[in-house]
A = this chain, B = another copy of it.
Amino acid sequence: MLRLSPPDGLRLSQAHTFDAVYGGSEANVAVSLAQLGLKSAYLTRVPDNGLGRAALGAVARYGVNTDKCVLGGERMGVYFIEFGAGRRGTTVLYDRQNSAMATLSSGMIDWRSALENAPWLHWSGITPALSQSAADATLEALKMAKSLNIRVSCDLNYRDKLWKYGKTPDQVMPQLLQYTDVMLGDATAFELYFGIREPNDAALLKSVLAAFSQMTHVAMTNRQGHSASHNTYKGILYDAQNIYTSQTYDLPNMLDRIGGGDAFMAGLIFGLHPANTDLQEVIEFAVAAAALKHYIKGDYNLSSVEEVRALMAGNTGGRVSR
């Protein structure tokens, strides 16, 4: 997806230029994993034009394989984002109707050839929010993944400006999540998708995981928004046995919070693959990765394992390395 944002905190109506980056939840996870040193590949559909090629180049530049992506469709999905500051919040204007990804349908991607030899498939709840055919293609991929014994993770990624094609998430997501081992969500998504509400995070994660017998881990993030420039952030992980809660990061003077959740998701996959037995370290790593993302422009978390670990080890960011 092409993300267009007015520079320097301008509003849409003031902009004479737009900064352009290519991102999207799955792309962001793929880049983040590549930056953490894992081999990663991205599967998507983009139009066969300069924008589509630029989108693939954008992830290839950061080490992601795009060999199995397909070209086609009418247009690139676009979103405009007006970055806020202080008391003015950030707002998104989607323009992704009829995008190449929204018109993805079953049979377009050769999932078998794309997935064989892969140990892990990650998908986002945004894809089935776009259209019925995209939801169908997601199901197709998930079935193939399971038939190949691939581990599957999902970030629920609820967006209230999507889901416009006549279905609500609770009609679509539970079926897809039958094929998922590791799930990331938040309280809003859990309620809207599964009708589950609980008085605290631990109870919530327990109820949610109980609803999916095949699922091994469920995680959630908790963000407090003091202002558009200052948040706090933590993560919680449940493995059907214990609840692991990370430290809470104070995030002042944020540069770009888009992709924070994707950085968390990539950190989680990094920690669980191969199975890491220290789940406290897993959740701490995922949250530290997400914290760094807030200080990197664009959608991608361009942080190395060493940088994430330095933050976990107490580096405040206040020292110049020279």
Partner-B contacts on A (CB < 8 A): 4, 7-21, 49-51, 53-54, 57-58, 60-63, 74-76, 78, 80, 82, 84-95, 97-98, 159-161, 223-231, 249, 251-255, 257-258, 291-292, 294-298, 302, 307, 311, 315-322
Chain B residues with CB under 8 A of A322:
91-92, 94, 159-161
Which 3 A-B residue pairs are closest in the complex by CB-CB distance? A225-B318, A12-B50, A92-B322
The reply to whether B319 and A225 form a contact with Cβ atoms under 8 Å apart is yes
The reply to whether A255 and B9 form a contact with Cβ atoms under 8 Å apart is yes
Taking the closest CB of chain B, its distance from the CB of A31, in whole angstroms, is: 11
Q: What are 22 A-B pairs at a CB distance below 8 A?
A: A10-B297, A12-B50, A14-B54, A18-B18, A51-B80, A57-B62, A60-B61, A75-B95, A86-B253, A87-B317, A88-B292, A89-B315, A89-B321, A92-B322, A224-B318, A225-B319, A227-B253, A228-B295, A229-B252, A230-B252, A231-B318, A258-B320
The number of times this chain is found in the oligomer is 6
The reply to whether B227 and A317 form a contact with Cβ atoms under 8 Å apart is yes
The reply to whether A15 and B20 form a contact with Cβ atoms under 8 Å apart is yes
Closest to A311 in B: B87
